[in-house]
Amino acid sequence: MIEDCGQHDDGKKKLYKRLLIALLGFIILILFIILIVYLILRPTKPHFILQDVTVYAFNLTAPNLLTSNLQITLSSRNPNDRIGIDYDKLDIFASYHGQQITLPTSLPSTYQGHEDVTVWSPFLFGNMVPMAPYLAVSLNQDQIMTGTMLINFRVDGRIRWRVGTFLTGKYHLYVNCPAYINFGNKNSGIAVGNAVKYQLIMSCHVDV
């Protein structure tokens, strides 16, 4: 009886071992297929363009507090002819010389088909944001001396590549859109009520 129990336990162990080997083999096969698909298709990162910036407010007050209200038009194009892109989570904000000057605004999750173009028009707000003293001096100099200011609009998020019903894992997406805005010359923009709209059409730097 004891011998039968021992043989039964050995049989279970062999069964579990075979199942484990089969599971590992299946996982390796799936990973291999993913690698082959990736190498064959070689997804190209999306292209982003900053089309325009509308300035409703951009005021620096004592002691070094910046209030801004901006709206931008940002477009993204999927250059792949066989691969779709899932934008799972995207946040966008404005920065000046590396300091964030607006709260992040979330962009809606969306799917972008082959060679499709997606356009977002988010508002960006910053209410009395404390500026580093040296940045406040630099900002004043930009406004008074040249009238032109470099503001970077940055996108931080996650994307996934889609081929048919197959989805890859999430990849980090980082986009930097530099915008030279001429605050000193209102004629360089278009009056929109109390705001000024600046047409830019600036290519953005994209890392995936």
Cα torsion at 132, 137, 140, 144 (round to 10°)?
-170
Segment (H or E) for 193: none
Global pTM value? 0.79
Q: Which token pair is 117?
A: 């173009």
Q: Which token pair is 19?
A: 């199942």
pLDDT value at position 52?
96
pLDDT value at position 199?
92
- CA-CA-CA-CA torsion sign (49, 175, 39, 34): negative
pLDDT value at position 38?
66
Nearest in space to 204 (alpha carbons), one of 173, 158, 170? 173
43-207, CATH topology level: Immunoglobulin-like (2.60.40)
Could you state, in order of their start, the residue ranges of all structural domains in the chain? 1-42, 43-207
Q: Which token pair is 47?
A: 């292209």
Query: What are the residues whose beta carbons fall under 8 Å from the beta carbon of 78, sequence distance 6 or more?
Result: 46, 84, 85, 112, 113, 114, 115, 116, 117
pLDDT value at position 73?
98
Q: Which token pair is 69?
A: 């209200």
Interatomic CA distance for residues 172 and 45, integer angstroms = 11
Segment (H or E) for 68: strand 65-77
Helix/strand/coil (H/E/C) assignment for every residue in 76-120: EECCCCCCEEEEEEEEEEEEECCEECCCCEEECCEEECCCCEEEE
Intra-chain end-to-end CA distance of the chain, in Å: 63
pLDDT value at position 12?
74
pLDDT value at position 55?
94
Averaged pLDDT, groups of 10, the chain, 208 residues long: 57 80 88 71 90 94 94 97 92 97 96 96 97 92 85 97 86 96 74 86 95
